[in-house]
Structure 1
Amino acid sequence: MGERIAFGPYLFDMTNSTLLRGDDVVSLGGRAAAVLQTLLEANGEVVAKAQLLDRAWPDTIVEEGNLAVQVATLRKILGTRPDGAEWIGNVARVGYRLVRDAGGATSGIPAVAVLPFANLSGDDQQDYFVDGIVEELIAALSRFRTFAVIARNSSFAFKHRAVDVREVARTLGARYVLEGSVRLAGPRVRVTAQLIDGASGSSLWAENFDGAVGDILDFQDSITEAVIGLIEPQLRRAEIERARRKRPENLDAYDLYLQALPFMQGVRVVQLQDFDRAIELLERAIALDPDFAPALALAAWAHEMRLTRGGSAPPEVDDAAAALQLAARGLAADGNDPNVMLVAGIVRLTISGEHGTGLALIRRAQAANPNSLLIANVSGYAHFFMGDYDGAIASHERFLQLSPGLAETFWSLNGIARSHLAAGRIEEALAWGLRGLEASEGVDFPHCIVAAAYAHLGRIDEAQAQLARAHAIWPDLTISSLLGRTGQPDGRDRVLVEGLRLAGVREL
């Protein structure tokens, strides 16, 4: 039996050019089989018409219309994809592309296409600069494993062409499309980027970025950071909303993973019962796709959080063992996924005590995807756990650098304030804590940080005013309940606790 390539419900045997659906052989003519095999060999990239003609009619000159007939025959045989689009997409005047499943049959991971940006500078010699920005964006987006990125060769087939974004999305099999433009005027440059829903053509997000070119490579890096830092959360939110709209019986592993995400991270304060709900959703996702690494890693993190934050597991569940086992399974399923590395490092730090291995995994995650907001934020708390307060601050500052305007910035603002407080830098802790308060209305912990800082500075009245606001949100606030929530060992929050005692917080 030769090599077989799967797509949708089909298997194509590359040795004998046979198409199977289940156990049934699908009848194909020799030329249609040659066209299909060539498209499959391209692994989702656009294949030029000339190349397809050479494979189906070797050493023969034929009209392009003959190729169109074979493509039409294949489309009729294959039917449509689950989203209603054709398996074989047409890139006008260029060629064809067979859309392969980006995330597997059960995971349903979406694909993103980054189209060539328009050069509005009036100078074709600046195309290299514009294309370089797009290539950096494709490379940076490709570091995320929760969505696929269409290959450069396929998206660049649309360069210098006026196209309907919805048609591009159908052709490339992309759920989202990123397009934009670059305008150079002397030393100044403006980059405009827009994220579009591929099905409806509606804009999900748009932003302008202005700067001075200076060193070209440095500028391309800074634009990449700025765009990725803003676009990744927008993609995540759009996908979460899409999953929420799906009927329960139609949810796949990826949808269930998305539904679990808000219980683990976001703009809201996570409660102990949120971990129970996340674990329930993720267990269903893993049952559908046992090797879906993002779900395995998130489930490991949910068990770790429930354990270290003082939650209660069912009698038959050992959260520590479950977290370690799921993290190991995640690494086995995809050891190159930065988020999987991150969680595997966290559980080794907090549960098994393998501090060296844990930190090494977290640093690998940071190196593998330096533009991930999640990795920047969580690694900050990991450094805090290890008592490396300056390392924690550096990680949280990286989060703020990537996405300064996001609502989620309060996590990093408070992380910086807490780290300064733990290091005994009270004035700095107060300054950052007040910034955190501005970004986190309705959240109790920032009031605790600011109250402790005020108390250490002898400003007891102001400290108690902050405590009153914290108690209004968290009526059961005590030293004991605070330490149960933070889950920090060996007195990492000693300065925080001492300040709260000075302000009058009771022990139990």
Structure 2
Amino acid sequence: MGRERLERRLSAILAADVAGYSRLMGVDEEATHVQLKDHLRTLVEPKIAEHRGRVVKNTGDGMLVEFSSVVDALRCALEVQRGMAARNAGVPQDKRIELRVGINVGDIIIEENDIYGDGVNIAARLETLALPGGICVSARVQEDARSKLDLAFEDTGEHQLKNIAWPVRVYRVRLEGVEARPPPALALPDKPSIAVLPFQNLSGDPSQEYFADGIAEEITTALARLRGFFVIARGSAFTYKGKAVGLKQIGRELGVRYVLEGSVRKAGERVRIGVQLADAGTGREIWVERYERALADLFALQDEVTASIVTAVEPQLYAAEGARVQQTPPGQLDAWDHVIRALPFMWRRTRSDNAAALDLLWAALRLDPSYARALGLHAWLSLWNAHAFGSAGGLAAVLASATERARAAVAIDRDDPWARLALGLSHMLRREHEDAVEELRAALDLNPNFALGHAFLGLALAYGGEGAQAVGYLETAMRLSPRDPFFSFFAGHRAFAHFVAGDYSAGLDWGRRAVRQSPDISGHWRALALSAAMLGYLEEAQEAVAKARELNPDYSVAWVERASPLVHAADRARYCDILRPVGLPEQ
């Protein structure tokens, strides 16, 4: 059987939308909707009918119109834009409803309620190039109209339009008495700002549309829960669905510095999800990743991929902000800038980098003593630095002041997961087990994708003797952030958790991984020694104890009694009994 013959014809296609529609809806949703409906009913639709056009479809803030004549399409666009200019006279610039129009002519495929083809796609791309109140046309439209209409055209050169294989020469129509100008850009917030655009469904399967939309919505919700980020609401971001709008224009219209976009493609029993984070100001890609998963339970898959993306995007945003802030003269840095500068040092996890990060966080607190994020980060890093690298004396020197800062951070902002993490770590190091678990669970309630939160809750549970639960949280931390800067610490924590759970083989395996990745951390060697000793690998256990003592000369039975966060005296006694035979001294 032959293929069904498609209906095709040569037509002029006009694509139009409202410039800055998301911004206008955000300012006054109801008034914008009413005004747009009035413009369409009393001006746009009558002009389309007058010039023998056919409205193919409406898209909320725009429309697609078919004409049999290029001249009719251009005359209609001209009269609509002049009519809109007259209606906007006297209206403040930030409250005007202004249209952008693109016109192309080409061979199109006709269906009952839609039209398809490159001719349609080019018209839609031309509309995005038009200024508010302006009209952009293709070279073919310009050639057909120049001898029939008294118009001036501005040649803007060839453009490589999205998803069009060849360059298209674009002309702007010069409208006498109509000033086409870009809308004013929204001011950027004073913290990292991001819009999550609707994900494209590339599957050719309309049933996957809800899955693509669901991922974008879940990412928006999850990012909005992260303190320190300005996230554009789903309603505004989804006005760009199905539209080819440049990143710079989106950034201006929504007032954001970063844009996250992606695609979903079903291939057999698997689904591929591509994600890109870009700087809206420059269009530069910051981070690109692809996820491929088995297509089983779509909702579970959506949750898993959302968690993976959000966990990866958060540090990428911080890194991008850090690079931007590096260009700011030191005398012009504010408290947020100092915090952003501190983060790259913190992620490097060395003594010297931790010291540099603490200095920058302290500088932030000098500028703003009540800055909860700076208080929480300084408290957490002070405690973690002393616990990971220092002696019992080092921890004792910072414990009281860091605890005070952690409590202040929580008092100022109870919804900051870093503040709750810092207070939870303080409780853990003071053997206040129930309080530690409560604060760390609160951190995860605030940000379920907080990998460090999962890792430290796992460690706190292990110190409390709850090894099996601890392993579960550490597995989650590793799954959420498999390339985390603190991954070696996840491994070390997991080695200790397996020891507490009685799974010494797994404890040995993760202990070996931890010391390979970060051999300068005393705690990794301590965890390795415990499982090695229990399995009878006495020489390896002796070497691990010796290495732990080399990194922390205070490490001894007395240190365990005085400084180990192990909650129960019986667990501390067992710990020492295991390691005495392999070299743990009394003092």
Name the TM-score class by shorter chain. Answer: 0.7 to 0.9
For residue 456 of structure 1, the aligned residue among 534, 539, 542 is 534
Alignment: residue pair count: 442
C-alpha deviation, 1:73, in angstroms: 8.1
Cα distance in structure 2, aligned partners of 1:340 and 1:146: 13
C-alpha deviation, 1:180, in angstroms: 1.0
Q: Which residue of 2 aligns with 1:474?
A: 551
Cα distance in structure 2, aligned partners of 1:91 and 1:363: 50
Cα distance in structure 1, aligned partners of 2:535 and 2:348: 30
Cα distance in structure 2, aligned partners of 1:68 and 1:469: 79
Quick one: structure 1 residues 339 and 66, their matched pair in 2 at CA, closer, same or farther if it must change by over 3 Å?
A: farther
- Structure 2 counterparts to residues 172-321 of structure 1, below 5 A: 172-262=254-344, 265-269=346-350, 271=351, 277-302=356-381, 304-305=383-384, 310=391, 319=398
C-alpha deviation, 1:291, in angstroms: 4.0
C-alpha deviation, 1:224, in angstroms: 0.8
Q: Deviations over 1:271-304 (max 9, x none)?
A: 4x77665554333323433443211222333454
C-alpha deviation, 1:200, in angstroms: 3.0
Q: Deviations over 1:181-219 (max 9, x none)?
A: 101234321111112233332222222111233232112
Quick one: structure 1 residues 426 and 318, their matched pair in 2 at CA, closer, same or farther if it must change by over 3 Å?
A: closer
Tell which deviates more after alignment, 363-372 or 273-282: 273-282
Quick one: structure 1 residues 306 and 409, their matched pair in 2 at CA, closer, same or farther if it must change by over 3 Å?
A: closer
Partner SS for 1:258 = helix
AA aligned to 1:217 is: F
Cα distance in structure 2, aligned partners of 1:247 and 1:275: 23
Q: Is the 8 A contact 2:372 2:413 kept in 1?
A: yes
Quick one: structure 1 residues 355 and 451, their matched pair in 2 at CA, closer, same or farther if it must change by over 3 Å?
A: closer
Q: Which residue of 2 aligns with 1:378?
A: 456
AA aligned to 2:437 is: L
Q: Which residue of 2 aligns with 1:420?
A: 498
Q: Deviations over 1:350-397 (max 9, x none)?
A: 45x765444333222212321111211222223234333333222211
Q: Which residue of 2 aligns with 1:83?
A: none
- Structure 2 counterparts to residues 20-419 of structure 1, below 5 A: 42=26, 63-64=84-85, 67=88, 99=186, 102=189, 108-262=190-344, 265-269=346-350, 271=351, 277-302=356-381, 304-305=383-384, 310=391, 319=398, 322-351=401-430, 355-419=433-497
Cα distance in structure 1, aligned partners of 2:541 and 2:427: 37
Cα distance in structure 2, aligned partners of 1:482 and 1:260: 31
Cα distance in structure 2, aligned partners of 1:357 and 1:506: 32
Quick one: structure 1 residues 423 and 92, their matched pair in 2 at CA, closer, same or farther if it must change by over 3 Å?
A: farther
**Which of the pair has more CA radius of gyration?**
2
C-alpha deviation, 1:413, in angstroms: 1.3
Question: Structure 1: which 5+ residue stretches go unaligned?
Answer: 1-35, 76-89, 103-107
Q: Deviations over 1:221-275 (max 9, x none)?
A: 1211221232223223333344445332122211212333356x53524x4x776
C-alpha deviation, 1:405, in angstroms: 3.4
AA aligned to 1:282 is: L
Cα distance in structure 1, aligned partners of 2:340 and 2:557: 33
Cα distance in structure 2, aligned partners of 1:291 and 1:180: 38
Cα distance in structure 1, aligned partners of 2:255 and 2:380: 32
C-alpha deviation, 1:48, in angstroms: 8.7
Q: Is the 8 A contact 1:480 1:507 kept in 2?
A: yes
Cα distance in structure 1, aligned partners of 2:452 and 2:132: 39
Cα distance in structure 1, aligned partners of 2:534 and 2:132: 69
Q: Deviations over 1:67-94 (max 9, x none)?
A: 498565899xxxxxxxxxxxxxx9979x
C-alpha deviation, 1:147, in angstroms: 1.8
Partner SS for 1:156 = helix
Partner SS for 2:317 = helix
Q: Deviations over 1:429-475 (max 9, x none)?
A: 1122123334435545423432343233332233345456667x738
C-alpha deviation, 1:306, in angstroms: 6.8
Quick one: structure 1 residues 64 and 500, their matched pair in 2 at CA, closer, same or farther if it must change by over 3 Å?
A: farther
Cα distance in structure 2, aligned partners of 1:312 and 1:260: 25
Quick one: structure 1 residues 162 and 495, their matched pair in 2 at CA, closer, same or farther if it must change by over 3 Å?
A: farther
Q: Which residue of 2 aligns with 1:85?
A: none
Q: Is the 8 A contact 2:260 2:278 kept in 1?
A: yes
Cα distance in structure 2, aligned partners of 1:312 and 1:41: 59
Tell which deviates more after alignment, 390-399 or 457-466: 457-466
Cα distance in structure 2, aligned partners of 1:132 and 1:416: 33
For residue 436 of structure 1, the aligned residue among 501, 511, 514 is 514
Quick one: structure 1 residues 54 and 67, their matched pair in 2 at CA, closer, same or farther if it must change by over 3 Å?
A: farther
Cα distance in structure 1, aligned partners of 2:369 and 2:87: 44
Q: Which residue of 2 aligns with 1:501?
A: 580
Cα distance in structure 2, aligned partners of 1:195 and 1:490: 47
* TM-score normalised by length of structure 2: 0.64
User: Considering only aligned residues, what root-mean-square deviation do their CA atoms show, in Å?
Assistant: 4.2
C-alpha deviation, 1:495, in angstroms: 5.3
AA aligned to 1:63 is: M
Q: Is the 8 A contact 1:46 1:153 kept in 2?
A: no
Partner SS for 1:63 = helix
The percentage of aligned residue pairs carrying the same residue is: 33
Cα distance in structure 1, aligned partners of 2:242 and 2:510: 48
C-alpha deviation, 1:113, in angstroms: 1.5
Q: Is the 8 A contact 1:177 1:195 kept in 2?
A: yes
Q: Is the 8 A contact 2:274 2:290 kept in 1?
A: yes
Cα distance in structure 1, aligned partners of 2:240 and 2:193: 17
AA aligned to 1:42 is: G
Q: Is the 8 A contact 1:46 1:96 kept in 2?
A: no
